A and B are shown apart, each in its own frame.
Chain A
C-alpha cells in the first residue's frame, strides 16, 4: 500500500485511485508474474485499458490523463495490493501487446547500433547546422531585448505577452527550446506590483545566456555545458551512462511533477547515504506514454549513478542497480543549518547563474504563525509549497527538531520530506 501511494504523482491522485479501488468499475482484470492489467469503466462508452509492469514499475493507460501513474493505474494497483486480483492464465490482448512492445524496446536499447562513418558525418553536420540556427536565434533575441529596453518596460505593457509569445515561437524555430520556455513563462507573468523587477531580471538572465553562447569557446567546459543545457541542448542518456559512476546507497527523498509544454516532467531527488552527494533524476512523459520510473519516495537503492556534464553536479542517470530496499531505515540524515543551506544555494548560483532551486537538508523545528510556516534553526526560514503539506509537516513533526529535506529558493524552502527516527517521511 505504501509503495502504491509513493508511486502516485500527488495526494489527489492517491485519493482518486482509492476511489477506483473497488471491483465495481473493473472488468478483464488479471495478473500474471509482473504483468497486471484491467479495464476500467469510466464515464465514456469504452473502458480505459490499464497495463502495469509491477516490477519495473511501468504503467500504460488508454485514458487521456497526463498524470503518471493515472488514477486508473493507481486504482488497479490498490486492488492488487489488497489481494483482490487473482493470478490468471490468460493475459488480455492489450496487456500482452504493450508488454511485448516494452520487451522489444528494452532489447533494442541493450544493443546500441553502431553508427557508420556516413551516419556520424551526417550527425555532425546536423549538430553544426543546429549551432548556427541557435546562434542566429539568440542574436534575434538580443535585438528583441535591446528594443524592449530602449522602448522602456512601461511602454506597450498590454502588448508584451503577445510579443514574447512571438519571440518564443522564433526560438523554437531556432532550436532553442529552453529559451522559448522561459519566454513563454514570462508572457504569462501576472501583473503583480513586482512585475517590472521580474521582467528586467529575466531579460538580464536571457541576455547573459545569449552572451555566454557567443563566448562559449572561452568558457570552462562545465559552464559551457550549463549554457548548452539552459538553451535546450540535450545530452544522450547513453553518453551519460558511459561516464564513470558513483555508487552509493541512494535514498529517494522526494518527487515533484510539472507539465512543460507537451511534456510532463517528474523530478526525483536522491541523497547518497555514504557520500552525501545529492542527485536529481528526471523522467519525461509525452503523449500518454507514462513515466518509466522505479524510484519511489522513501525507498533506498544501492546503485551506480552517472552524472550529466555541467556544474554544480546534480542531474544524473541511474545505471546498474545492485540492491533495493522499499524503505530507507536507520539513517541519520546530516541536516545542516540555514546559513549553510544559504551558502550552498549561493555557491550553486555562482556555478550556474540561471539556477533557481537547490536541494538542501536543514535540521530545525517547524513553527506556524500569522505570517506562515517556518523552519526554525537559530533563525526562521520561510516554508513554501502546498498548505496541506505544510500543515502535515507541522502535525507530524509536532515541532520536534527534525531534518527537513526540500528545494531551497528565493521563495523559501519547499519541503518534500523529513527524517524522523531514522526513517524518511515523504510529504
Chain B
C-alpha cells in the first residue's frame, strides 16, 4: 500500500488495523528521507586583505552589542567601527552577522550611521556575505552603491548612487538629475538635494531652472543649494535685495522687501531650512534676508560690520529690529569662524560653538564651567562631538559632578554630565575616570547612581575597544 492510499483510508475510516503497521513502516521510512537537491559547489568566499581586529575586540564588541539602551549601543558600536577603520583593520568574521543585524536594526529606525561605519570595515568577506542577504544587500547598496541602482533601485538606493557618483564625477551626477525631469516631484526634490555633494557653479543653471519649478519642494531644495554658492545669480540677487532694503550708516534703516520678491526667490523657505523661525511679515522678511546673506557683505552694504549690526539692530518703521539671532544663523550657515568668535561673547549662544575649532571650544567651556548654570553647562558641553572633550575639561566636569554629590543632587544635571563625559571624552585619556564613576555608582544616596554606572560601562567599553584594536600580542 502506498502512502497516498494509506492516507485516504485513514481519513475516511477503516477497521483494518494492519493499516497501523503500514503507517509505522511509512513513518520509519519518512524519518530516514533527508532533504537533498542537486546544487553546485559554491565558489569560496574571498579572504579579506586587511588584518582582522584582534580577538579582544570581539569580546568588547559583544558587550557593546548587548547594551540595553539602543542609543548608547549605536553610539558605542559606531565609534568602535570607526576606530577599526582608522587602524586599517576589518571586522572579524565572527562579528559579521551580529553587526550586520545591528546595523539593519538601526537603519530600520532611520539611522544609517552604523551601517555607514560598518561598510568601511566589512572587508571582502563581509561584502561577500552581505551580498547574499536581501536586506543586508540593500543596506550595503545604500552605503556602497552600484551604477545599476539608478535604473533598478528604490528611491533611496538611487539617491545613494547619485551622491556616490557626485563625489567622483559631479558632471555625470548632474546629467542624471537633468534626465529625471519627468519623474515624481518628491523624487526630483531628493535628487536635487543630492547635488549638495560636489556642489559648484556648474550646477547653477540646473538649479536656477529648478527654482522656477511648479513643485514647491523642488524649488525650495534648489534655492537652498543656490544660497550656498557665494557668487551665484541667486546670491547676487539676494545681495541686491539687501542693498535695496538697508540704507548705509551706523544705524541702518530697513525697508521691508515685497512679498513677491521674497517668494520668487524662496527666501523664507531657505531661511526656514536652516532652522530660522520665519514669518511672512515685514519684519520676518527682513530677518530672513539677514539670516541668508553672507555676513561679510554688511561692510559693503552699510559700512558696518556684522558684529556692530548684531548689537545695534536696525530701524524698521520706526521700531528697532533685533538682528542678532538672524546674524547667528548667517554665521553658522557661512561657517564664519571669526564672526562666531566675535559674536559668542555678546550673545552667549551655544549654537555658535560648533563653528569654532574643537580646541577653542574646549578652552571656552573650561573658562565658563564655574560661571555657567549647570543645566546650561550640559548644553554647552553637548556642542562637542564624540571623542572631542578634552581631558582637562572632563576633569573639571567630574569635579562639578562630585560637588553635586554633596550639593543639590540634581538628577537631570547629574545624569546628563555622566552621559556627556562618558560619551564625549577622548577614550585615550578617559581610563582613569572609570574608577571614579564606579565609586559614584556605588553611592546609594545619589539619585543618578544608575547613570554613573552606565557611564562607567560606557567608558570601560570605549577604552576597551581602543586598547583591543591596538593590542598587537595576538596579531
Cβ of A132 within 8 Å of any chain B Cβ, yes or no, is no
Please tell me if the beta carbons of A204 and B7 are within 8 angstroms of each other in the complex: no
Given A342-B34, A356-B31: A398 touches B13 (CB 8 Å cut-off): no
Q: Which residues of A contact B132 (CB under 8 A)?
A: 368, 394
Please tell me if the beta carbons of A149 and B37 are within 8 angstroms of each other in the complex: no
Could you give, for residues 90-103 of chain B, a 1 whenever the CB lies within 8 Å of some chain A CB and a 0 otherwise?
00011011000100
Cβ of B14 within 8 Å of any chain A Cβ, yes or no, is yes
Please tell me if the beta carbons of B21 and A204 are within 8 angstroms of each other in the complex: yes
Could you give, for residues 401-422 of chain A, a 1 whenever the CB lies within 8 Å of some chain B CB and a 0 otherwise?
0000000111111000000000
Q: Which of A155, A356, A369 contacts B39 (CB 8 A)?
A: A369
- How far, in angstroms, from A341 to B11 measured CA to CA in the complex? 34
Cβ of A220 within 8 Å of any chain B Cβ, yes or no, is no
Min C-beta distance of B114 to chain A, whole Å: 17
Please tell me if the beta carbons of A152 and B12 are within 8 angstroms of each other in the complex: yes
Most chain A beta carbons < 10 A, residue from B33, B97, B101:
B97
Q: Which residues of B contact A152 (CB under 8 A)?
A: 10-14
- How far, in angstroms, from A18 to B68 measured CA to CA in the complex? 10
Cβ of A326 within 8 Å of any chain B Cβ, yes or no, is no
Please tell me if the beta carbons of A149 and B21 are within 8 angstroms of each other in the complex: no
Q: Which of A146, A202, A392 contacts B97 (CB 8 A)?
A: A392
Within 8 A of A (CB), among B29-45: 30-45
Q: Which of B57-65, B219-227, B319-327, B392-400 touches A?
A: B57-65
- How far, in angstroms, from A26 to B68 measured CA to CA in the complex? 17
Please tell me if the beta carbons of A382 and B35 are within 8 angstroms of each other in the complex: yes
Min C-beta distance of B130 to chain A, whole Å: 10
Cβ of B125 within 8 Å of any chain A Cβ, yes or no, is yes
Q: Which of B42, B59, B63, B66 contacts A365 (CB 8 A)?
A: B42
Q: Which residues of B contact A355 (CB under 8 A)?
A: 31
Cβ of A22 within 8 Å of any chain B Cβ, yes or no, is yes
Given A150-B15, A201-B23, A410-B30: A380 touches B7 (CB 8 Å cut-off): no
Q: Which of A154, A365, A395, A409 contacts B31 (CB 8 A)?
A: A409
Given A23-B441, A392-B97: A349 touches B10 (CB 8 Å cut-off): no
Q: Which residues of B contact A200 (CB under 8 A)?
A: 6-7, 10, 19, 23
Min C-beta distance of A76 to chain B, whole Å: 15
Q: Which residues of B contact A167 (CB under 8 A)?
A: none
Q: Which of A23, A24, A203, A380 contacts B23 (CB 8 A)?
A: A203
Q: Which of A98-106, A303-311, A371-379 touches B?
A: A371-379
Could you give, for residues 384-404 of chain A, a 1 whenever the CB lies within 8 Å of some chain B CB and a 0 otherwise?
000010011011101110000
Could you give, for residues 337-364 of chain A, a 1 whenever the CB lies within 8 Å of some chain B CB and a 0 otherwise?
0100110011001000101100000000
Number of A interface residues at 8 Å Cβ cutoff, please give it: 66
Please tell me if the beta carbons of A381 and B36 are within 8 angstroms of each other in the complex: yes
- How far, in angstroms, from A399 to B36 measured CA to CA in the complex? 18
- How far, in angstroms, from A396 to B92 measured CA to CA in the complex? 9
Within 8 A of B (CB), among A197-254: 197, 199-205, 207-208
Please tell me if the beta carbons of B129 and A395 are within 8 angstroms of each other in the complex: yes
Within 8 A of B (CB), among A1-53: 1, 14-16, 18-19, 21-24
Q: Which residues of B contact A346 (CB under 8 A)?
A: 32
Min C-beta distance of B276 to chain A, whole Å: 43
Min C-beta distance of B142 to chain A, whole Å: 20
Please tell me if the beta carbons of A204 and B23 are within 8 angstroms of each other in the complex: yes
Cβ of A367 within 8 Å of any chain B Cβ, yes or no, is yes
Could you give, for residues 1-23 of chain B, a 1 whenever the CB lies within 8 Å of some chain A CB and a 0 otherwise?
00100110011111101011111
Please tell me if the beta carbons of A196 and B7 are within 8 angstroms of each other in the complex: yes
Given A391-B97, A399-B42: A204 touches B32 (CB 8 Å cut-off): no
Min C-beta distance of A395 to chain B, whole Å: 5
Q: Which residues of B contact A388 (CB under 8 A)?
A: 97, 101
- How far, in angstroms, from A16 to B226 measured CA to CA in the complex? 51
Please tell me if the beta carbons of A205 and B67 are within 8 angstroms of each other in the complex: no
Please tell me if the beta carbons of A204 and B20 are within 8 angstroms of each other in the complex: yes
Identify the closest chain A residue to B453 (Cβ): A24
Please tell me if the beta carbons of B93 and A395 are within 8 angstroms of each other in the complex: yes
Please tell me if the beta carbons of B125 and A398 are within 8 angstroms of each other in the complex: yes
Within 8 A of B (CB), among A311-345: 338, 341-342, 345
Q: Which of A196, A342, A413 contacts B11 (CB 8 A)?
A: A196
Cβ of B190 within 8 Å of any chain A Cβ, yes or no, is no
Min C-beta distance of B364 to chain A, whole Å: 34
Please tell me if the beta carbons of A201 and B13 are within 8 angstroms of each other in the complex: no
Min C-beta distance of A200 to chain B, whole Å: 4
Cβ of A151 within 8 Å of any chain B Cβ, yes or no, is yes
Q: Spell out B's residues near A (CB within 8 Å).
A: 3, 6-7, 10-15, 17, 19-28, 30-45, 47, 59, 62-63, 65-68, 93-94, 96-97, 101, 125, 128-129, 132-133, 438, 441-442, 449-450, 453-454, 456-457
The 5 sampled A-B contact pairs (Cβ below 8 Å) are A1-B59, A203-B10, A365-B44, A380-B38, A391-B129
Q: Spell out A's residues near B (CB within 8 Å).
A: 1, 14-16, 18-19, 21-24, 145-146, 149-155, 196-197, 199-205, 207-208, 338, 341-342, 345-346, 349, 353, 355-356, 365-369, 371, 374, 376, 379-382, 388, 391-392, 394-396, 398-400, 408-413
Known: A23-B442, A207-B23, A381-B34. 18 other contacts (CB 8 A): A1-B59, A24-B450, A152-B13, A197-B7, A201-B23, A204-B26, A205-B27, A205-B28, A338-B36, A349-B28, A356-B31, A374-B39, A388-B97, A395-B97, A396-B93, A396-B94, A410-B31, A412-B35
